[in-house]
Structure 1
Amino acid sequence: MSEPLLFVDGTFHDPRTPLVSALDHGVTVGDGVFETCELIDGRTFALTRHVQRLQRSAEGLGLDAPDESRVRAAVDAVEQRWQADGGGMGRLRITWTAGYGPLGSDRLAGAGTLIVAAGGARPAGPVRVAVAPWVRNERSAIAGLKTTSYAENVVALAYAKERGAGEAILGNTRNELCEGTGTNVFLEVDGGFVTPPLDSGALAGVTRALVLEWASDAGIEVREEARPLAAIHATRHAALTSSTRGMTPIVAVDDRELEPGPLTLRMGEEFHRRSREQLDP
């Protein structure tokens, strides 16, 4: 699949075609929400969980949530085209914005904009991370919401890339470990996993939630527990989770090398197996 698929207003379009108003609030002020999902053999993994989080994020912003049947119909159309075009593994993105609005922060009443796009994805592998000098504000109005106001993540990820890393790690205002720019963080501690609680400001990742459930089934303890940001520098083994990574080991924090942890490797294999057996857990 060389070109991304783009589906807007019930129709496929060339991905370079201008379709959204220049005054769409999702463009002018980042007033929108989105979900990125994994495509497995042309089907969207964990779609129900992603649609539910999309609706929660929209409601958290004060937007009317998108109609679930409309979202599912658009996703189905993209899946069918992806399969017909011979697309293999990939990613699917659902974006919902406030639609046309004024230049300021006030909203206009009216229908939102729904965009569904799909494109190829590279297999995820072990990743080096850099700890960013900026923080997540766990008391922010948009803490825990997956919004299109993503500039902080863009800047932090660029910071990591400049240092040879593939992801940035952020603390919060309490100097606690929080999350990555598009990932959740897990540390191997005392024979189990520890991951920051959601009140740290971390996003409630779909993969994070499934790891919490499936690790328990596999006999691996997982605790949601606040840890100082310095814990990422001291840990022997750590991992990232996201919809496009599954669970993958962190192999360096800044300039310190890490070995992939045994629990990370075990849970990574378990997640891969179960995600192929159960498309919509």
Structure 2
Amino acid sequence: MSVVIWSAGKLRGEGEAVATAVDHGLTVGDGVFETCGIAQGQAFALTRHLRRLHRSATGLGLAAPDEDEIRAGVAAVLAAGGLGLGRIRITVTGGPGPLGSNRAAAGSVPQTVLVLGGPAARASTVRLVRVPWVRNERSAVAGLKTTSYVENVVVLARAVAQGADEALLANTVGELCEGTGSNVFVERGGELVTPALGSGCLAGITRELLLEWAGAAGLPVREATPGELPYGVLDEVSAGTARVAITSSVRNVVPAVSLDGVAVVPGELCVAAQRLFDARVGEQIDP
């Protein structure tokens, strides 16, 4: 299936121009984005994704995106794409700007707003690897979902070259942080524990919902306390004394079946969380 594209109030062809060559999102990555999974023909948890888009944009110093405009674009893409869609991608950039890092004067240029729809495969398990690079929890854009994504491209390419689907990163102080496009949960001691946002990880929508839904369902899922999840906790996963799963908006909750090329067993809590999440998605499209 081809990608469905919406921009400036209407659907566009794949070969049609939708941004200028001097768009600041293209020249310096000055933009933000969200990806929603599709459930029952709708963008799942769209309100939460738009809320995070707003946080990311204002965190970069961009104007708040026009939510009504984006919702109209999402509706148009869903209607055009039909059952073949698996994900919606919303991108907002600072619009035209100088070739350097400085932006155009505030309010002098319109933002670029794109809504894309396309297919997405959803696997029930995941293969993970460790990598030598780290997240900077003190970065100016820590916790923001920006279009400056090339670091993730490089790290994910390393993972794929090693036969994996995703890589897990530490932060600069040696704590477990996140994947290139996912949050991570470690099952140990009868609990499922995820790094706190202070680690520098993204405030994932699936992560957020799993914490809420698990709490309501009585599953022992929580955020880690400071220092509780060092990167070395993955050695326990390799040894079989802990388990690991990742979460993301397209994957939902996915237990790991290998780490660094070595088979590991999906944890009971990881599987229970996966089943709980999948069931709740079927009950509520915009929780």
SS in structure 2 opposite 1:234? Answer: helix
Aligned to 1:103: 99
Aligned to 1:122: 121
Aligned to 2:259: 253
Identical counterparts, % of pairs: 52
Equivalent pair of 1:124/1:244 in contact (CA under 8 Å):
no
| Per-residue Cα deviation, 1:67-86 (whole angstroms, up to 9, x for no partner) | 11111111111122223xxx
Aligned to 2:157: 158
Q: Which moved more, 1:68-77 or 1:130-139?
A: 68-77
CA drift of 1:89 comes to 5.0
Matched, 1:234 2:236: yes
Matched ranges for 1:89-100 at <5 A: 89-100=85-96
Equivalent pair of 2:143/2:201 in contact (CA under 8 Å):
yes
Q: Which moved more, 1:196-205 or 1:212-221?
A: 212-221
CA drift of 1:190 comes to 1.3
In 2, Cα distance between equivalents of 1:151 and 1:176: 22
Quick one: which amino acid aligns to residue 244 of structure 2? A
In 2, Cα distance between equivalents of 1:163 and 1:255: 8
- 2:273 equivalent among 249, 267, 276: 267
Equivalent pair of 2:85/2:117 in contact (CA under 8 Å):
no
SS in structure 1 opposite 2:206? Answer: helix
SS in structure 2 opposite 1:217? Answer: helix
Structure 1 length-normalised TM: 0.96
In 1, Cα distance between equivalents of 2:56 and 2:207: 17
Equivalent pair of 1:41/1:89 in contact (CA under 8 Å):
no
In 2, Cα distance between equivalents of 1:65 and 1:254: 41
Equivalent pair of 2:143/2:197 in contact (CA under 8 Å):
yes
Aligned to 2:63: 64
SS in structure 2 opposite 1:37? Answer: strand
Matched ranges for 1:131-150 at <5 A: 131-150=130-149
Structure 2 length-normalised TM: 0.94
Quickly say closer, same or farther: Cα 1:49–1:191, change in 2 above 3 A: same
SS in structure 2 opposite 1:165? Answer: coil
CA drift of 1:130 comes to 1.1
In 1, Cα distance between equivalents of 2:27 and 2:180: 22
CA drift of 1:251 comes to 1.1
